[in-house]
Chain A
Amino acid sequence: MGALALAATVATETPAVPGIAADFSNDNIWVYLVKAVLIIVFLLTSVLMALWFERRLVARMQVRIGPNVHGPLGLLQAVADAMKLLMKEDITVKMADKVVYILAPMISVFSSLLIYAVIPFGPEVRIPFTDFTTPAQLTDFPVAVLYILACAALGVYGIVLGGWSSGSTYPLLGGVRSTAQIISYELAMGLSLVSVFLLAGSMSTSEIVNQQERFWYALPLLPAFILYVISMIGETNRLPFDLPEAEGELVSGYMTEYSSMKFAWFFLAEYINMLNVSAVATTLFFGGWRAPWPLSAINDGMFNQGWWPILWFLAKVWFFMFIFVWVRGTLLRFRYDQFMKLGWKILIPVALTWLVIVAIYQGVVEFGEIDRQFFIYASLALFVIAILGLVVSSFATKAEPEVAKKTEAEPFDAFAGGFPVPPLPGQQLPPSPRAARRAAAAATAATAVLEVEAEPDTTTKTEGTSGD
Chain B
Amino acid sequence: MMTSTGEAVLFWVLAPAMVLGALGLVFARKAVYAALSMIFVMVCLAMVYVMQQAEFLGIVQVVVYTGAVMMLFVFVLMLVGVDASTSAVETIKGQRWIGILMGVGLGTLLVTVTARAALPETVGLDEANSETNPAGLARVLMSDFVLDLEIVATLLVTAALAALVLTHRRRLTPKIGQPERAAARMLAGDHPVNLPAPGVYARHNAMDVPALDPEGNPIEASVSRVLRIRGQEHSLDTDVTTLVATRDAAELTGDHGTDTAAERGGQNDDTDAATTEGEA
Contacts and interface: CB of A to CB of B under 8 A. Distances in A.
A332 to B, nearest CB: 15
Contacts of B187: 417
A2 to B, nearest CB: 10
Nearest to A150: B62
A100 B36 contact: yes
A1 B71 CA distance: 34
A204 to B, nearest CB: 8
Contact of B79 (A143, A153, A176): A176
A329 interface: no
A18 B132 contact: yes
Interface in B62-78: 62-63, 66-68, 71-72, 74-75, 78
A143 B59 contact: yes
B67 A147 contact: no
B66 A153 contact: yes
B13 interface: no
Contacts of B131: 1, 5, 18-19
Interface string B165-189: 0000000000000000000001101
B103 interface: no
Contacts of A1: 131, 135
A182 B71 contact: yes
A325 to B, nearest CB: 28
B56 interface: yes
B134 interface: yes
A176 B75 contact: yes
Interface of B: 30, 32, 36, 39, 43, 46, 55-56, 59-60, 62-63, 66-68, 71-72, 74-75, 78-79, 82, 129-135, 186-187, 189, 192
Given A176-B75, A183-B71, A146 B60 contact: yes
Contacts of B46: 150
Contact of A153 (B56, B71, B82): B71
Nearest to A173: B78
19 contacts: A4-B135, A5-B131, A18-B129, A18-B130, A142-B56, A142-B132, A143-B60, A146-B56, A146-B59, A149-B63, A150-B46, A150-B59, A150-B67, A154-B62, A154-B67, A157-B74, A160-B74, A186-B68, A203-B134
Contacts of A172: 78, 82
A5 B71 CA distance: 37
B229 to A, nearest CB: 18
B72 A183 contact: yes
A156 interface: yes
B62 to A, nearest CB: 4
Interface in A127-167: 141-143, 146-147, 149-150, 152-154, 156-157, 160-161, 163-164, 167
B39 A157 contact: yes
Interface of A: 1, 4-5, 17-19, 97, 100, 141-143, 146-147, 149-150, 152-154, 156-157, 160-161, 163-164, 167, 172, 175-176, 179-180, 182-183, 186, 190, 202-204, 417-419
Given A150-B66, A182-B71, A143 B36 contact: no
A388 B46 CA distance: 48
Contacts of A182: 67, 71
Given A100-B32, A156-B71, A142 B62 contact: no
Contact of A164 (B39, B55, B82): B82
B63 A150 contact: yes
A232 to B, nearest CB: 16
A149 B46 CA distance: 14
Among all A-B residue pairs, the 7 with the closest Cβ atoms: A153-B67, A19-B132, A150-B62, A142-B132, A179-B75, A146-B59, A150-B63
Contact of A149 (B67, B79, B186): B67
Contacts of B79: 176
Given A19-B131, A417-B187, A183 B59 contact: no
A179 B71 contact: yes
Contacts of A204: 132
Given A161-B36, A179-B74, 14 more contacts: A5-B131, A18-B130, A141-B55, A142-B56, A142-B133, A143-B60, A143-B133, A146-B63, A153-B67, A157-B71, A161-B32, A167-B82, A175-B78, A180-B75
Contacts of A146: 56, 59-60, 63
B137 to A, nearest CB: 10
A156 B62 CA distance: 13
A15 to B, nearest CB: 10
Given A164-B82, A179-B75, A154 B43 contact: yes
Contacts of B130: 18
Contacts of B133: 142-143
Contact of B71 (A100, A149, A160, A190): A160
A152 B62 CA distance: 10
A49 B60 CA distance: 34
A163 B192 CA distance: 34
B168 to A, nearest CB: 15
B129 A186 contact: no
Nearest to A420: B192
A302 B60 CA distance: 39
Given A172-B78, A172-B82, A176-B75, A143 B134 contact: yes
A175 B186 CA distance: 34
Contacts of B68: 153, 183, 186
Contacts of A19: 131-132, 135
A460 B72 CA distance: 79
Contacts of A161: 32, 36
Contacts of B134: 142-143, 203
Contacts of B30: 97
A155 to B, nearest CB: 10
A369 to B, nearest CB: 22
Contacts of B60: 143, 146
B36 A419 contact: no
Contacts of B63: 146, 149-150, 153, 190
A142 B78 contact: no
B71 A164 contact: no
Given A18-B132, A160-B71, A182-B71, A147 B59 contact: yes
Contacts of B75: 176, 179-180, 183
